[in-house]
Amino acid sequence: MNMLKSLLLGSAAGLVAVAGAQAADLPVKAKPVEYVRVCSLYGAGFWYVPGTDTCLKLGSFVRVQTTFNNTTSNIPIGGGNNDPGGRQTRTDTANFGFRVRSALSVDLRTQTEYGTLRSYMNVGAQWSTNNGTADNNAAVADTLFVSRGFIQFAGFSVGRIRSYFDVNSLLPYTYSVPRIGGDTDHTDGIYALAYTAQFGNGISATVSFEDNGQATNGRGHLVSNLAMPSFGLGTQSFDNKGQQAPDVVGNLRIEQAWGYAQVSAALHDASGGYYGIANSTLNGHPSDKYGFAVTGGFTLNDIFGFRGDQFGLQACYAQGATGYCTRALGAWQMYASGNDAGFAWTTDGVYDTGTNVELTTVWGVTGFAQHLWSPRWRTSIYAGYTEIDYNGAATAIINSHLGAGGSAVCGTTAVAPAGNVTITPLAGNSCDPSFSFWQVGTRTQWNPHPDLDVGVDLQWTHLNTAYKGAAVLAANGARPAGPYAIDDQDIASVMFRIQRNFLP
């Protein structure tokens, strides 16, 4: 019996040894693959980049838009954007515009001991028509753009962002780019370096150093030297001191479930270049001049108990900092039938040889309301008014350069042809360069799917013209020279859009 037991144990040990030797010869099992995991820290659409603790979200949109009586696809013809289409003739103006725009966004976030480290980029391309001419010259590649690109860390934000001066954006409620507000959300952003302090309960304060207008999409550095040819029919030029320092912006904000409210202020460089027709260090120059802007506004959520409905208001006041209160940063020209036209010029200030820079005063108010009829249908209305005033000294400077030879009607002695605005006022003209304008519109949007927008935007723009009354104008495109009635003008525009959004 003992012999049998020993034999069985010996056989089992041998089998185990053989099995162990065979197992040692097998390949080592591969480590399990690390699959993508959902990151729930920052909302929908984020996932962990494999092998890291960084969360990533990719977003995109594709937009197809057709418009009537708009230039660059979304700005009313003649509406303060140096628009030659304001001539409204068979050959000078294309009333229909088309745009296809698409963009890709990349949002990266990582938790650190100092809070969230975030980088964000939004880049895209577009093809559009502007008065019948493709903005990519109908060849080569589409126009490329970068609308956002910034880093946020430990309260700091730096890069291309929406200005911290801004309160309400009208973009969620319209397809156009309204001229009535100065919000940089309507542009491709603005360069800034900012710090935001959080005080709890949704209260924060920010100090920001921002591009003062030298860049195309900045606030606009809009100082005109009237010794140069500065004001024309639908054209305008500026003569600024080079950028020496950024604008200083500050705000105080409260943001809670009911909505948000904010007050902001900005200091803006409005210094001119040199005196004379041609820039020269021998000519001397006006003293440096600074302007400022202040604004306040709010947005309320779920108004009157209707979930998703919103209402907002904002007011803005500026001296020598026009771009903070309006995006109409160029010359207006709007023609009606016959010899009926309206004009206006937007500046931070004007100067002449031997004078100081005379700053303009700007004020305006904007508002909006949106109602959700159902999860798939919504209608918004928006409106605003902007006024730009030239003081007596600025008016005298501009009037001294009216027309080819000047006009005794305005009681000045002209210096021609330099600086002429190609308008010669006749008896009865106001001789006043100040002007105002208002816009009102409504947009109705259908969302057959949460990621698909289909809608129509109707807008009315009214210009209270500068230099109201009789005048003689120079030739302008197909518009001949001769006597004209300078009067208030109106234009109705329509925008139709289809847009697919994915995790914007």
If you write DSSP's letter for every residue of 311-343 in order, what string do you get? EEEEEEEEES-GGGT-S--S-EEEE-SSSEEEE
Residue 417: its pLDDT value, please? 42
pLDDT tens, 373-428? 999 999 999 999 999 999 999 998 988 887 654 556 775 554 444 456 678 888 88
Share the mean pLDDT of the chain. 86
Q: Which residues, 6+ apart, have CB-to-CB distance to 135 below 8 Å?
A: 72, 126, 127, 128, 129, 143
Here the CATH number for the domain that contains residue 443 is: 2.40.160
Residue 231: its pLDDT value, please? 87
Does the pLDDT value for residue 275 go beyond 70?
yes
User: For 86-100, 296-310, 372-386, 461-475, which range has the lowest pLDDT when averaged over its residues?
Assistant: 86-100
Does the pLDDT value for residue 352 go beyond 70?
yes
Does the pLDDT value for residue 12 go beyond 70?
no
| 322 close to 329: Cβ distance less than 8 angstroms | yes
| Strands 340-344 and 482-486, bridge-based pairing | parallel
Q: Where in the sequence is the domain holding 411, given as residue range(s)?
A: 141-502
Residue 98: its pLDDT value, please? 85
Q: How many Cα atoms occupy the beta-carbon half-sphere of 351 within 13 Å?
A: 29
pLDDT tens, 241-258? 988 889 999 999 999 999
Q: How far, in Å, CA of 297 to CA of 312, rounded? A: 7
- The single residue listed with the structure tokens 């943001």 is 255
Q: How far, in Å, CA of 126 to CA of 144, rounded? A: 7
Residue range 87-115: average pLDDT? 90
Does the pLDDT value for residue 140 go beyond 50?
no
Q: How far, in Å, CA of 408 to CA of 445, rounded? A: 54
Q: How far, in Å, CA of 195 to CA of 4, rounded? A: 86
Is 16 a domain residue? no
| Confidence band for 8, pLDDT divided at 50, 70 and 90 | very low
Q: How far, in Å, CA of 386 to CA of 437, rounded? A: 6
User: For 124-138, 154-168, 303-317, 328-342, which range has the lowest pLDDT when averaged over its residues?
Assistant: 124-138
Q: How far, in Å, CA of 231 to CA of 59, rounded? A: 43
Is 27 a domain residue? no
| Confidence band for 127, pLDDT divided at 50, 70 and 90 | confident
Is 418 a domain residue? yes
| Confidence band for 137, pLDDT divided at 50, 70 and 90 | very low
Is 387 a domain residue? yes
3 vs 276 pLDDT, higher one: 276
Q: How far, in Å, CA of 250 to CA of 194, rounded? A: 9
| 117 close to 109: Cβ distance less than 8 angstroms | yes
Residue 27: its pLDDT value, please? 57
Largest Cα–Cα separation, the chain: 139
pLDDT tens, 438-455? 999 999 999 999 999 999
| Confidence band for 102, pLDDT divided at 50, 70 and 90 | very high
> What single DSSP character describes residue 91?
T
Residue range 204-225: average pLDDT? 83
**118 sits in which H/E element:** strand 115-130
Two structure tokens written together for 464: 């209270």
Q: How far, in Å, CA of 257 to CA of 148, rounded? A: 27
| Confidence band for 268, pLDDT divided at 50, 70 and 90 | very high
| Confidence band for 185, pLDDT divided at 50, 70 and 90 | confident
| 210 close to 243: Cβ distance less than 8 angstroms | no
138 vs 275 pLDDT, higher one: 275
Is 178 a domain residue? yes
> What single DSSP character describes residue 495?
E
Q: How far, in Å, CA of 277 to CA of 194, rounded? A: 39
Count of domains observed in the chain: 1
Residue 203: its pLDDT value, please? 98
Is 63 a domain residue? no
Does the pLDDT value for residue 277 go beyond 80?
yes
Residue range 27-38: average pLDDT? 66
User: For 199-208, 267-276, 409-418, 483-492, which range has the lowest pLDDT when averaged over its residues?
Assistant: 409-418
| 385 close to 178: Cβ distance less than 8 angstroms | no
**φ, ψ at 447 (rounded to 5°):** -120, 80
Strand-pair partners of 58: 106
Is 7 a domain residue? no
Residue 167: its pLDDT value, please? 97
Residue 28: its pLDDT value, please? 57
Helix then strand count (H, E) for the chain reads 2, 29
> What single DSSP character describes residue 272?
B
Residue type, 106: V
Helix, strand, coil shares of the chain, percent, nearest 5, are 10, 50, 40
Residue 214: its pLDDT value, please? 56
Residue range 101-106: average pLDDT? 95
Q: In 3D, which of 466, 138, 163, 438 has the Cα closest to residue 333?
A: 466
17 vs 387 pLDDT, higher one: 387
Residue 228: its pLDDT value, please? 86
- The single residue listed with the structure tokens 């139709």 is 496
Is 79 a domain residue? no
| 107 close to 120: Cβ distance less than 8 angstroms | yes
Does the pLDDT value for residue 342 go beyond 70?
yes
Q: Is 444 helix (H, G, I), strand (E, B) or coil?
A: strand
